[in-house]
Structure formats: structure tokens, C-alpha cells
Structure 1
Amino acid sequence: MTITSAPAATARPVLPTRLALLPQGTGLHRIDGAWWPRTRHLADELPPLLDTLAPRWGRITRVTVDNAMWHTGPNRLVLGRRVIHISRSVGMGHHRSVCLLALGTGRCDLRVIAPDTPPDQAEHIMSAASRADGGTGAPAGPAGYGPHRLPT
């Protein structure tokens, strides 16, 4: 078992999280938005994402990622007094996505855009992911990966 503690916030400047979310109150969706991390190092990328999502999703305690998208890393991440459990999926259920679970709030599923994606292509994907009229927020989904409600 590997445990990693996130570096202190003052260790290096934190760049803004590249994230696009569906508007709140838009009903049931399979995918809630898109995230464009800067690297394939989950232990570095996850803390700023969780901080950005905290006002909307609360205390996220469990994360499932597509193992093929990330370098080898920890299965737990300690952020202050909070432990984030990380599962790595090798099946189709989490292909190019991240599933974040928050007790009492629900789940947030984000499409993950590879860090080396050209900016114009990534911005197009992020724009589509944040539209309630289609994009990647389609309500239908594979079995076991059903729609869920955004927090209001």
C-alpha cells in the first residue's frame, strides 16, 4: 500500500485548475464536466482539483481513475487530516474519466482530457462538456455508470 501526502500549499505556485462543469440544477447527467490536468501525476493534480470542487461537491473522499491515463502512484492521498482513497480502473467503466465521491453529496464524473492535448481541441471538449444541451452531459450511459443528480 502506498500513501502520499500532498505538498504544502506554499511549496510552489498553484496554477488554476482547468475545469469545465455543467451548470447546477440541470438534472441527471452521466458526465458532469471535463478536467484538463497539466501532467499525468495524479498525486500532484488531484489536490487542486479537489480544492476547486469543494464548494460544489463538499468533502470528496474517494476517487476512481482510468489507470491508463496516469503514471503509477499512490492508492491513498493524505490532504491535511483527510484521506482520499484512490482506485485505478482498468476496465471500460472509467475510460478517460475520473469519478469523485463525496459523502452526503453524491458523485461527480468528469471526462479527463490528456495533458498533451492541443489547446484548441481541449477547449472545444471543455466547452461541450459544460453545455447542458448536449456535450458530454448526455443522460444515457453504459450499465453500472448511470445518471446522477448535480448538487443544488
Structure 2
Amino acid sequence: MTSASSPPPSAPVPSEVRLRIADQPRRGGTARRIDGAWWPRSYDLAAELPGLLGGLPDAWGRIGSVLVNGDTWPACPERMVVAGQEVYVGRTDSPTAPHTVCLIAPGRGRWDLLVVPPATEEAEARRLMDRAVTQDG
């Protein structure tokens, strides 16, 4: 016997998100460093952002703003609703950070993630992600 209803589609669970977070927190007066690395499956921000935000540490709080490079993420909405919360998406054209995404949680802080291009071979992507989260990365 088959069921007439099927379960609703679900967003990726955090374990499916290809994300690594640095173990060591940023030091107060040092230059900004990468806080982690993210390897999205595509450049479709509307499809990828919910999984990323769902995979972040709880201590980071609710991300209210995301800043992406406009050349890297050509089709990104200005606002998205993720897990029932509105997230503002800003674009920058800075050539100094084409492969990063900046996450901002009001009252909590800012975190910068290296974005590994989706088409990267798995071995290379894992090497880049590991390097990004080491102290000397």
C-alpha cells in the first residue's frame, strides 16, 4: 500500500554542508583572518545560503547580514528568508576578496569564510578548506 502524501522537501541538514570552522578564535588586535571555509555545491546563493547558515555554530548567533562578491555570486537576492528569519544580502565588487563571504550577527560579531569554488576537485577542495582553518592558513 502506498501513501497518498509525500513528505515536504527539506533544506540540507548541517552534516551535509561542506563547511569547516577554525578551532582557534581570532585574536583581538591581529589582522582579520579567515574563520572557516565553505564549499558550496553551486553559485545559486538562494539555494546554498540556508544550508550554510544552518551549519554554523550556535555561538555565532543569528546571522542578519551576508556580504558576498557580486562578480562571484552574480544572481543574489537583496533579502532572503532563512529558517523564518530575514537575512540581508549585500554585494561588494572588491577585487581583494572574490572568494570570501562575510557573515554578520548583530551584537555578536563578524565572521569571514573562504569560499571554495563549487567546481573544485574534492581533494583540492579539502586541502584548501584544511589550510583555511589552520593557524598559519
In structure 2, the partner of 1:105 is 108
Deviations 1:11-65 (A, max 9, x none): 1462611111111445254211110000110011001111111513111000000
In structure 2, the partner of 1:122 is 125
| CA RMSD across the alignment | 2.0
In structure 2, the partner of 1:11 is 9
In structure 2, the partner of 1:66 is 69
In structure 2, the partner of 1:39 is 42
Query: Does residue 83 of structure 1 match 2:86?
Result: yes
Of 52, 56, 62, the match for 2:55: 52
Flag the structure with larger Rg.
Answer: 2
Unaligned runs of 5+ in 1: 1-9, 136-152
Query: Does the aligned pair in 1 maintain the 2:101–2:113 contact within 8 Å?
Result: yes
Question: How many residues are aligned here?
Answer: 126
Q: TM-score under structure 2 normalisation?
A: 0.82
Unaligned runs of 5+ in 2: 1-7
Query: Does the aligned pair in 1 maintain the 2:100–2:112 contact within 8 Å?
Result: yes
Moved more, 81-90 or 11-20: 11-20
Identical positions, percent: 38
Query: Does the aligned pair in 2 maintain the 1:39–1:45 contact within 8 Å?
Result: yes
Deviation at 1:92, TM superposition (A): 2.3
